[in-house]
Structure 1
Amino acid sequence: MTDRLLVCGIGTGMDHSLTELRLPRWELVVVTDTPTDRVRAAADVLLVCDPNDAVAVLAALSAAGIDRIDGVFSLGADNPPVISTLAHRFGCPGLPLETALNCTLKDRRLAILRKAGLDVPRFAPAESVGEAVQAVAEIGLPAVIKPSDQTGSLGVMKVESADRVRECAAEALRLSPGGRIVIEEFLEGTEHTLAAFMADGELHRFGFADREYGRKEEFAPYFFEGGDTLPSRLTTEQIDEITDVVLRGARALRLDPTVINTDILRTHDGRVVLLEITCRLTGSRIATEVMRLATGVDPLPNVVRLALGWPLEPGELEPTHNRAAVQRFLPADGGVVEWVGDPRDVTRRAGVHDVFWGTELAPGTVVPPYRGGADALAGVIAYAAEPAEAEAVAERTLRALPLRFKDSAG
């Protein structure tokens, strides 16, 4: 019998990987609120609705006459509670809803990790501007304010002065569906992405990248992440230390079996601080394309195996090669588009895997000021023998993009 897979949520750019799941042994039911041509071509059944709303997804499935699902997962979309709800509804393998909520809601996740003795930023939740002011007074400045239940750096702001706390807290509260925010101490160091599978109490790492934050505070109070780089500049011993911390975090949150995405900060004095750990595939094409370019490891077959309740195949997570791969983003920060061409015109350069717009652009498009991690104007994925060479390819490619903005005087 053909296994029916429900792919609920397609992260930014992750529709590139959806086509790899189109095999005769699988029927693909895809839920997304932003269907692309790739999605339409790959899906056997396409349901256009909000993948972050379990009630809406269940209604759409019912309306389509779908009463059997064999496995459910997202492609980089940060909606574990919905995935857990759907898995329970259809009797599929999956983590309990409480576990999914614990690793998705930032205040709950931090509290569990802290109780387990792991190093996390000092933090406090708040449900009002007044509570936020009090929390900042206790934690100290600078601090980071973020919605507890949002993703993609939406509403994440650094506050450096007391007179900005109320404004930033009010904005974060407005962006939080649950009306709850988290205030964290601001820590400095290097940040890293670790991608892994957790199964039978063991962590199987398949990717480790350095996050690029060279322009992190250029758009203050919002943060800008420039992309990811592999291989890491950390030593093997430092990466192993971080991996051990992530394993302890996954066990504390009871993330087993599942695919895991993490965000780790290593302070200048060597502390390993868990900023994020959640039960989803690393998105923005990082796990499925950037890491794969660097190591040759394709995580998708094991994502499907776990969704169907099959055993993990650790052998498929062993690197088959070692080269440098990077993804770099160009921030969208205001202006009116005068002319735009096809970004694929610059993909013929050596070492360029792909070039893409981060938003729909046409002559006359008004690009608003940068407000968060989702506001990328364009991006490039590049590869080479060494990281510096791959980074140079990416930078040259972004400078050559077929795009022109109107002069402010015009």
Structure 2
Amino acid sequence: MTDRLLVCGLGSGMDRSLTELRSPRWELVVATDRPTDRARAAADVLLAVDPNDAVAVLAQLSAAGIDRIDGVFSLGADNPPVISTLARRFGCPGLPLETALDCTLKDRRLRILRAAGLDLPRFATAESVGEAVRAVADIGLPAVIKPSDQTGSLGVLKAETADQVRPLAEEALRLSPGGRIVVEEFLEGTEHTLAAFMVDGELHPFGFADREYGRKEEFAPHFFEGGDTLPSRLTAEQIAEVVDTVRRGAAALRLDPAVVNTDILRTHDGRVVLLEITCRLTGARIATEVMRLATGVDPLPNVVRLALGRPLDLAELRPRHSRAVVQRFLPADGGVVEWVGDPRDVARRTGVYDVFWGLDLSPGTVVPPYRGGADVLAGVIAHAERPEEAEAVAERTLRALPLRFKAGTP
């Protein structure tokens, strides 16, 4: 019998990987609220549905006459509880729902990691503005205020003065479906992403990137992440320390067997702090294209094996080469589009792997002011022999984008 795979949820740009998942060995069902042409072309069955709503996904599967699923995962979408719910419903491999909730809900994750002795920012939870004000008074300024139950940096805000705390807490509470927010100590240092598989207590990394935060606070109180860089500037010893910290965090959260995505901060005095750890593939094309371009490691075959309950092929996780690769983003920060061309016109430059719009743009499109990590105007993936050369290629490419705003706008 042919296996049936359900890809439930596509992160930003991750529909590009669907073509690589097509195989005569299985039927590919895709559930997404962004049914792009790529998704339509790659899927055997395409369901236009909110992948964050398990009930809606199950209803669409039923309407399509699908009563058997052999493996389920997302491509970079941050919806582990839905994946766990679907896996349990169809009796296919997957983590328990409580485990998925533990790594998705920030307050639960922080409590578990703290109990396991992991190094964390000082934090508190709040269900009202008054509680948030008291939490900041105890933790100190600056502080980060964020919804406990949102993803993609939505509602993550930095409070630098006492006057900012109340309105920022109100905003974070407004964005929290459960009415619960987290207040954290603001720490400074370098930030990194580790992508790995955790199986039988062993962590198997397949990608490590430095996160680009040179413009991090340009849009305060919101944060802006400018992209990723490989190889890392950290030493082998420092990377090993990060890997061990992630292994301890994954074990504490019982993410086993699982594909693991993490965000790590290494403070200026050498502390390794887990900012995020969750059971999903790293999104925004990082694990599937940026890391693969740098090392030659394609994680997708092992993601499929994990979803089907089959052993990993660890040989496929060994780097095949080392190349400098960067992904860089331009923030979407207001304006009215006067003219827009095809970004592929500048993709022919040496060292450019891809250049793309982050929004659907056409003359007259109104781009709102920047409000968080999902507000990307455009991006580029570039490669070269050294990171600084790849970054220079990316910067030149972004400056040459075929886009013009109306006078008086960016």
Task: Give the structure 1 partner of residue 400 of structure 2.
Answer: 400
Matching residue's letter, 1:241: E
Q: Distance in 2 between matches of 1:226 and 1:375?
A: 11
Classify 1:367/1:235 alpha carbon distance in 2 versus 1 (closer, same or farther; 3 Å).
same
Partner of 2:80: 80
**1:305-349 residue CA offsets vs partner (Å, 9 max, x unmatched):** 000000111110000000101100000100111100000100100
Q: Which residue is 1:14 aligned to? A: 14
Residue 377 (structure 1) aligns with: 377
Matches of 1:182 and 1:198, distance apart in 2: 27
Aligned to 2:71: 71
Aligned equivalents of 2:48 and 2:168: distance in 1? 33
- Identity among equivalent positions (%) equals 85
- Cα distance in 1 between the residues matched to 2:175 and 2:371: 12
Contact 2:335 2:409 in 1 (8 A): no
Say yes or no: does 1:252 pair with 2:252: yes
Counterpart AA for 1:195: A
What is the CA distance between 1:26 and its match in structure 2? Answer: 1.2
2:16 and 2:34 map into 1 onto residues whose CA distance is 14
- 1:62 is matched with 62
Report whether the alignment pairs 1:325 with 2:325: yes
- The Cα of 1:131 is off from its aligned counterpart by 1.0
Q: How does 1:46-125 map to 2 (within 5 A)?
A: 46-125=46-125
1:24 and 1:149 map into 2 onto residues whose CA distance is 38
1:296 paired residue number: 296
Cα deviations by residue, 1:139-165 (Å, 9 ceiling, x for unpaired) = 110000011111111110000011111
Alignment of 1:233-382 (within 5 A): 233-382=233-382
- In 1, the alpha carbon distance for the partners of 2:394 and 2:107 equals 36
Instruction: Render the CA deviation track for 1:218-242: whole Å, top value 9, x for unaligned.
Output: 0000000000000000000000000
**Could you list the runs of 4 or more consecutive aligned residues of structure 1 that deviate by over 4 angstroms after TM superposition?**
none
What are the equivalent positions in structure 2 for 1:132-147 lying under 5 Å apart?
132-147=132-147
How large is the Cα RMSD of the aligned pairs?
A: 0.9
Displacement of 1:136 after TM fit?
0.7
Displacement after TM superposition at 1:130 (Å): 1.1
In 2, Cα distance between equivalents of 1:179 and 1:6: 31
Return the offset for 1:64. 1.0
Aligned AA (2:280): R
Whole-angstrom CA distance in 1 between matches of 2:193 and 2:68: 35
Partner AA of 2:15 in structure 1:
D
Match of 1:225 in 2: 225
Taking the aligned partners of 1:100 and 1:324, their CA distance within structure 2 comes to: 34
Q: Does 1:190 align with 2:190?
A: yes
Secondary structure of 1:371's counterpart equals coil
For 1:15, the aligned partner's letter is D
Distance 2:130 2:55 in 1: 33
Partner SS, residue 265 of structure 1 = strand
Structure 1 equivalent of residue 387 of structure 2? 387
Using structure 1 for the length normalisation, give the TM-score: 0.99
Alignment deviations for residues 86-124 of structure 1 (CA, whole Å, 9 cap, x no partner): 000000000000000000000100110000000011111
Tell me the secondary structure at the aligned position of residue 228 of structure 1: strand
Query: Following the alignment from structure 1 to structure 2, what is the Cα–Cα distance between the partners of residues 59 and 101?
Result: 22
Q: TM-score, normalised by structure 2?
A: 0.99
Shift of 1:166: 1.0
Question: Would you say 1:44 and 2:9 are equivalent positions?
Answer: no
Q: Sort the Cα spacing of 1:211 and 1:409 in 2 relative to 1 into closer, same or farther, 3 A.
A: closer
Q: 2:176 is matched with which residue?
A: 176
Give the counterpart letter for 2:337 in structure 1.
Answer: V
SS at match of 2:223: coil
In 2: Cα distance, 1:200 partner to 1:349 partner: 45
1:348 aligned partner, one-letter code: R
Unpaired stretches in structure 2, ≥5 consecutive residues: none
- In structure 2, the CA distance between the partners of 1:384 and 1:147, relative to structure 1 (3 Å rule), is same
Q: 1:409: Cα distance to partner?
A: 8.1
Inter-partner Cα distance in structure 1 for 2:125 and 2:54 = 25
SS of aligned partner of 2:348: coil
Unmatched segments (≥5 aa) in structure 1 = none
Q: Aligned-pair distance for 1:256? A: 0.3
**8 Å Cα contact 2:16-2:38 kept in structure 1:** yes
SS of the equivalent of 1:6 reads: strand
- Measured against aligned partners, the alpha-carbon deviations of 1:60-103 in whole angstroms (never above 9, x if no partner) come to 11111110000000000000000000000000000000000000
Q: Retained in 1: the 8 A contact 2:337–2:366?
A: yes
Code of the residue aligned with 2:338 in structure 1: it is E
Cα deviation digits, residues 376-403 of structure 1 (max 9, x gap)? 0000001111100000000000000000
Listed one character per residue, the Cα deviations across residues 272-321 of structure 1 (whole Å, up to 9, x for unaligned) are 00000000000000000000000000000000000000011111000000
Q: What is the total number of aligned residue pairs between the two structures? A: 410
Letter in 2 for 1:151: T
